[in-house]
Structure formats: structure tokens, C-alpha cells
Structure 1
Amino acid sequence: MKARGIFSLYQKALNRRPYLIQAIQAGTLMGAGDITSQTLFEDNSFKHVDYKRSLKFASIGFFIGGPTLRMWYGVLNRHVGSQGKIVAVKKVLVDQLLFAPSFLGMILVCAGTMQGKTWDKVKSDVQANYFDVLQTNYYIWPWVQLVNFYFVPLQYQVLLVQTVALFWNTYLAWKTNRKRLLDN
């Protein structure tokens, strides 16, 4: 099947079930980010990848990341606007000042919880990593979101973000598992 045919199938599925499709793509890319982290940064071969860990990380994307992003971009579109340079800048500001800090905190809490950590350990890990992750976010995501909000139609915004997020998810997987890896 040619790329155009695959894209056409994707577009039809996205129009019929936007939340489901975007949940699947977010989960898939978060899982891929964790596998990439394990194989590139944690020196595991594919034989030694902890697929259970990757599935847990993917579930964060499936149940939280994809649906939340889809809903958020709809809210931005309704309340800030849908087109134009000024609208794109306003969306980036609202996204990065309101959404990103809370979303990143939620992702860090979910990652710690999925790793089976106690609430006290989750809190201490979030305190140790949150500002570093947020700062790194600000180096990358405002520029991605500016392109996303200015050039990309609403129905494809989560896809663009999740494609870039493959690299971001690799970083988050490494960051949220780094302490655990050092302890082993």
C-alpha cells in the first residue's frame, strides 16, 4: 500500500474516532520512546528490553497523553482561535504557561506510580526531576508548538506533537528511570 493510501486510511479513522486514534498513536510512541531509551541510553540489547516497563509507559500515553492532548488542542482552538500568527503565539503562551507545567507534573506522577513506587518516593522523584524536565521542555516545545499551531490543522496537531515526542518520550523514559537504574 502506498503512503497516500495509508494516510487516507489514517485520516478516515481519525475522523471517525479522534480520541481513540490519538490515544493509540500516543501510547505507541511513548512505548517506542521507552524502548529507545532502554536500547540507546541504558545499554540494553533488544533481547534485554523490559517490555513490561515499556507497556506501562505506553499506557500513560494511551490513557492520559493522547486523550488529554486531543481535548486540550480542542479547548485552545475554541477559546483562543484557530488561525493566524497572533493566535499561534497566544496558543503557545497559554500552552506553555498553563498546560505544560501541569501536564508534565502529571506525567511524572504517573510514571512513578506505574513503576510501583510509594507515594513518598513518587513525590521525592517529582521534586528532584520536575524543574529539570520543565526547563528542558522550554528549550524544545515552544518552537514545536509554534509550528504546530500556525501550520498544522487541528486534527493532525497531536500526530505532529507525538512524532516529535518520540524523542521527548525517550528523554522522559530515561529521566524517570535513571535513579532506579543507578540504584541497581
Structure 2
Amino acid sequence: MQVTTMKARSIFKLYQQLLNRRPYLMQAVQTGTLMAAGDIICQSLIEKKKLRHLDVKRTIGFSSIGFFVGGPALRVWYGLLNKHIGSTGKSVALKKVFVDQVLFAPAFLYLILIAVGTLQGKSFDTIKADLKANYTDVLITNYYIWPWVQLINFYYVPLQYQVLVVQSVALFWNTYLSWKTNRKRLVE
């Protein structure tokens, strides 16, 4: 038990060091990894695929969205919120949640849905049709979950760990997004 605790502490200490030295890279890697995990969960648990039949290309695409778009965008966004709204206090957390959910969430979800469609090789017209069919539902579902998560995140969690907290919860959100964006493909 003690050896396991020591290993966990060592891993967390290494993570903290890397996060301090290369915050954008670390948050890109963790976001890409957790988005890949969400897609694997979707494929294995929801779509009932055996591990050897997983669509690796799809998982890599989903992961790359997290690595190249999600992680860096979240890191920049949280830094901007901290700089322009503040870092502590109840009213600061409420203001951050409001701005996050009114400005960032709608635009970010739109971008993610376009990126997923593009990586799936869909035509522009098909992506537009998918956006029309899915965007409102995804955004409404977002509003059931994320304001509460963000309220806790912005009030209790230091800036350097906010992306990790969001991406940990997003493991389930990414599973939902993977299912939502691949649902029609599964029926075809």
C-alpha cells in the first residue's frame, strides 16, 4: 500500500513539474489522451465493439482534436478568464461560468463538431446538415452539465489544474460527443 502511495505521489509530482515547465503541452497531451479514452469507451461500451475491432483512425482523430484544439484552447481561455475577470471568490466564479457558457461553450462546441466531421471525411454540406441536426441538442446537453462543473472548477481549483478537472469530467462528455457524432455512421 505504501509503495503504491509513493508511486502515485511521484507521478503527481512529475505531472506538476511538467505542467509548470510546459503547461500548454501538458494540457494538450492530457486533453488528447482523455478524448481518445472517451472515444474508446464509446466504441467498446456503447457500440459494443471488441477491442481488436476498434476504429483506431477514429480514436486518433478524436484525440488529435483534443491535442491540437481542445487542450490549447482551454488553457488560453482559462488564462483569459483569470486575467480579465479574476481568480478567486464566489462572484468571480459566477462571472466566469456565465462568460464561459455564453461565449466559449457555443463557439467551442461548434468548432468541435466541425472538426469531428472534417476528420470523418464528411463533405461541407454533410457537416452543415450534421450541425443542424446535432448542434442544438449538444449545446442544451452542455447546459445541463457544464455550468455546475465550471462553478466548482472556477471556485475551488487553481488555474493550472482547471483543464485537468474539466477533462476528467469530459471523459464522459467525450464519450457522449463520440456517440453523438458517430451515431449516423453506425446506422449506415
Question: Normalization by structure 2: what TM-score?
Answer: 0.96
1:47 aligned partner: 52
Q: Distance in 2 between matches of 1:85 and 1:6?
A: 32
1:22 aligned partner: 27
1:119 aligned partner: 124
Q: Distance in 1 between matches of 2:139 and 2:75?
A: 21
Q: Distance in 1 between matches of 2:86 and 2:119?
A: 36
Q: Give the aligned residue type for 1:154.
A: L
The within-5 A match list for 1:78-89 is 78-89=83-94
Q: Spell out, residue by residue over 1:113-160, the C-alpha distance to the aligned partner (whole angstroms, 9 max, x if none).
A: 000000110111011000000000000000000000000000000000
Aligned counterpart in structure 2 of residue 3 of structure 1, from 8, 12, 18: 8
Q: Distance in 2 between matches of 1:4 and 1:93?
A: 35
2:39 aligned partner: 34
Q: Give the aligned residue type for 1:80.
A: I
Displacement of 1:43 after TM fit? 1.2
Q: Distance in 2 between matches of 1:10 and 1:30?
A: 19
| Secondary structure in 2 matching 1:2 | helix
Q: Spell out, residue by residue over 1:74-107, the C-alpha distance to the aligned partner (whole angstroms, 9 max, x if none).
A: 0000001000000000000000011000000000
| Secondary structure in 1 matching 2:147 | helix
Q: Spell out, residue by residue over 1:21-44, the C-alpha distance to the aligned partner (whole angstroms, 9 max, x if none).
A: 000000000011001000111110
Identical residues among aligned pairs (%): 69
Displacement of 1:163 after TM fit? 0.4
Shift >6 Å, 4+ stretches = none
Matched, 1:65 2:79: no
Q: How many residue pairs end up in the alignment?
A: 183
Q: Which runs of 5+ in 1 are unaligned?
A: none
2:183 aligned partner: 178
Q: Which runs of 5+ in 2 are unaligned?
A: 1-5
Aligned-residue RMSD, C-alpha: 0.6
Question: Normalization by structure 1: what TM-score?
Answer: 0.98
Aligned counterpart in structure 2 of residue 95 of structure 1, from 92, 95, 100: 100
1:141 aligned partner: 146
Matched, 1:128 2:170: no
Q: Distance in 2 between matches of 1:92 and 1:153?
A: 15
